[in-house]
Structure 1
Amino acid sequence: MTPVCPFTKASRPDDASSKKPGEHQNKQQASNENKPQQDSIVAPKCPLGYDSQTFKIGPLSCVICQALLFQCSKCVPCSHVYCKACISRFKDCPICGADIEKIEDDANLQGVVDRFIEGHARIKRSQVDTEQDEREDDKKTVIYEDVSLERGAFLMQQAMRALRANNIESAKSRLSMCTKDVREQLEKTGNTPELCSQLGAVLGMLGDCCRATGDASSAISYFEESVNFLMKIPNDDSEITHTLSVSLNKIGDLKYYEGDLQAARSYYSQGLDVRRNAMSHHSTVPTLVIDVATSLAKVADVDRNLGNEDAAIANFQEAVKLLESLSTSASDVGLENRRLSVLEFLNGQLGKK
């Protein structure tokens, strides 16, 4: 699954720009007829630079994974700090090059980081600009937008940085916080498509984290919950459809490796059905065709292992036919290479009959 931030398209639940023009005016200045009240909307800004739209390494970051510090550890004797999982791979300090004699927990700094994360993007307030010009009572009210969804994007960004650096526990921590936030929103608003899609994506990423650490049982639980939420959404969104089918296939993979072939086939078949349905609405999208062929190959492989050779051959042949009839853009080399790779595998499997 290609990790994406599920909050980028989300609208803010309490958008100040939708208020009526005079709703936020400062009542104390209502009598000032010569200089009318002027409101302006200001996007939330983190004072330390940790905004979801930027990619800055701030003062609370680990310079190795570039995410916020997690299990903060201090090198002795140089005192430079990193995430525990990150610095444990080094013998010399990446910043100064000093030999690392030992690594100590830095609970005080980690406490600062944790408090910062807990409070990040939770405040909504009005601020009066105290800057004065010719008239002493001339002030401008600044309305800060609700930033609850900004917090979700912020947490996802930190999790993505940690994942790229293989700091799995850090990523899980940030994703778990994000999951908690979305669940709280769901309790207030109900199962809206927007929130269900957000939660489904985050739960899928938590499943990936557990799978990376070998915790198959937890991974399956997260993927299954992801599927449950994504199933509540109309299946006309290609991104949601892709995430849903990928989660189903990943459960199938885990069941396959556990040796539960019947369960694996069930999940692979569900993933295939989701992709077939998507392709029926978007038959000219090459990636969907390749996805369907891949799902057919997974179902066929299980059928062969279950002794259903005729069914396996039929699915392999259908997948080959789809890929052979697929035309890709000459400029999209990656897509063509993927098509050829899957086609080579399928022909190899047909050669085994």
Structure 2
Amino acid sequence: MTTPVCPFVKAARPDDNGSAKKSTVGGSEATRKDSGDTATVSPKCPFGYDSNNFKLGPLSCMICQALLFDCTKCIPCSHLFCKVCISRFKDCPLCGADIEKLEADTNLQSMVDRFIEGHARIKRAHVGVNGEGEQVSNDDKKVIYEDVSLDRGAFLVQQAMRAFRAQNIESAKSRLIMCAEDIRDQLEKTGNTSELCSQLGAVLGMLGDCCRAMGDAAAAINYFEESVEFLTKLPADDLEITHTLSVSLNKIGDLKYYDGDLQASRSYYFRSLGVRRDVIKNHPGVASQILDVAVSLAKVADVDRTLGKEDVAVDGFQEGIKLLESLTLKSEEAGLEPRRLSVLGFLKSQLEEKQSEATASSVSS
């Protein structure tokens, strides 16, 4: 079975249902073997940490487990948390003391911000050894910097996803914006490489999720549309890229649907369905992609039904049911069974509801 590869190491990506799933990522590796004129060196953390003692505890919020954002001190106990996280409590979650008031800790927040700014950006010349065993500096050689934890992009995404799961959306958005800016800088230098466009498309989609969670539908649509713009520049045979593209299209469709613009909603749902149909033509045996097609069929049919296109809606529901009933999962795909049953149940309920309405209408007439 083909395993999709997400553009960020150890980052979680929201699926159609808004849940996050683990994925493996491309991007720079902690240690990379390259040609003879490339060296890998370990930079020092801006605050003196190295790979043996690298700890984020003093700079992290124990509630969301991410780097502090709007660092806030509890009075009188002086324990520190993100402002959004601690604002939900009346007692300090660390020591149990009553919180009399909250105070901003700008000094520690400044340290956190400097840590993020310096993360994976240490510059130094390559140091080699000449024929006599002496160390020499050679600024002409390309140097790949090995980070003490993750590369900067994956690090920022990791922190953002931790904050997002803890409902600290402003923190997540801030980290993702920084990540997007980094990738844009790289795009200006190297052009639209497949890897960078894939990464930017994924980050923009996450930013859309943040804005949607904050209730800013217009900003969410803008981010999702920009994500679509970048992802459509990439090869259509990459399963992870096509999945992310189709999800972004569906999320725009969802927002249009909730806004009452059914025609626009259907247009985006139908585009997503087209992307997913093309995928199963080229990869007919991938169960997750067949499930994606069934989800898209359900979305399109649901809008068709709302628009009064009953016959077209019934055809869509029936096609989705047929796909899922004929889908045989392999042992390694057993984890997809709950989703298959959930989507199948929805499709059948919609079809049964339509049939019940038709029966009631014929009886009354």
Q: TM-score, normalised to structure 1's length?
A: 0.84
Q: Deviations over 1:31-62 (max 9, x none)?
A: xxxxxxxxx7334464669899x995432111
Counterpart secondary structure, 2:353: coil
Write the letter of the residue equivalent to 1:90.
F
Counterpart Cα distance in 2 of 1:195 and 1:217: 25
Q: Which residue of 2 aligns with 1:36?
A: none
Q: Which residue of 1 aligns with 2:185?
A: 184
The CA deviation at 1:10 is 2.1
Structure 1, unaligned runs of 5 or more: 22-39, 130-136
Q: How many residues align?
A: 325
The CA deviation at 1:93 is 1.3
8 Å contact from structure 2 (residues 46, 119) kept in 1: no
How do 1:259-270 residues align onto structure 2 when only pairs under 5 Å count? Answer: 259-270=260-271
Write the letter of the residue equivalent to 1:145.
I
Task: Flag the 1:221–1:196 CA change in 2: closer, same or farther, 3 A.
Answer: same
8 Å contact from structure 1 (residues 238, 278) kept in 2: yes
Task: Flag the 1:244–1:334 CA change in 2: closer, same or farther, 3 A.
Answer: same
Alignment match of 1:9 (pick from 26, 32, 36): 26
The CA deviation at 1:330 is 4.9
Q: Which residue of 2 aligns with 1:272?
A: 273
Task: Flag the 1:240–1:43 CA change in 2: closer, same or farther, 3 A.
Answer: farther
Counterpart secondary structure, 1:18: coil
Q: Which residue of 1 aligns with 2:352?
A: 351
The CA deviation at 1:125 is 1.1
Q: Select the structure of larger CA radius of gyration.
A: 1
Q: Deviations over 1:35-92 (max 9, x none)?
A: xxxxx7334464669899x995432111111111100000001111110011111111
Q: Which residue of 1 aligns with 2:5?
A: none
Task: Flag the 1:6–1:336 CA change in 2: closer, same or farther, 3 A.
Answer: closer
8 Å contact from structure 1 (residues 78, 98) kept in 2: yes
The CA deviation at 1:128 is 6.5
The CA deviation at 1:108 is 1.4
Q: Which residue of 1 aligns with 2:145?
A: 146
Counterpart Cα distance in 2 of 1:338 and 1:83: 35
How do 1:172-251 residues align onto structure 2 when only pairs under 5 Å count? Answer: 172-251=173-252
How do 1:128-167 residues align onto structure 2 when only pairs under 5 Å count? Answer: 145-146=144-145, 150-167=151-168
Q: Which residue of 1 aligns with 2:313?
A: 312
Counterpart Cα distance in 2 of 1:43 and 1:111: 25
The CA deviation at 1:140 is 8.6
Q: Which residue of 1 aligns with 2:3?
A: none
Q: TM-score, normalised to structure 2's length?
A: 0.81
Counterpart Cα distance in 1 of 2:331 and 2:25: 31
Write the letter of the residue equivalent to 1:294.
V
Counterpart secondary structure, 1:293: helix
Range that drifts further, 107-116 or 119-128: 119-128
Write the letter of the residue equivalent to 1:239.
E
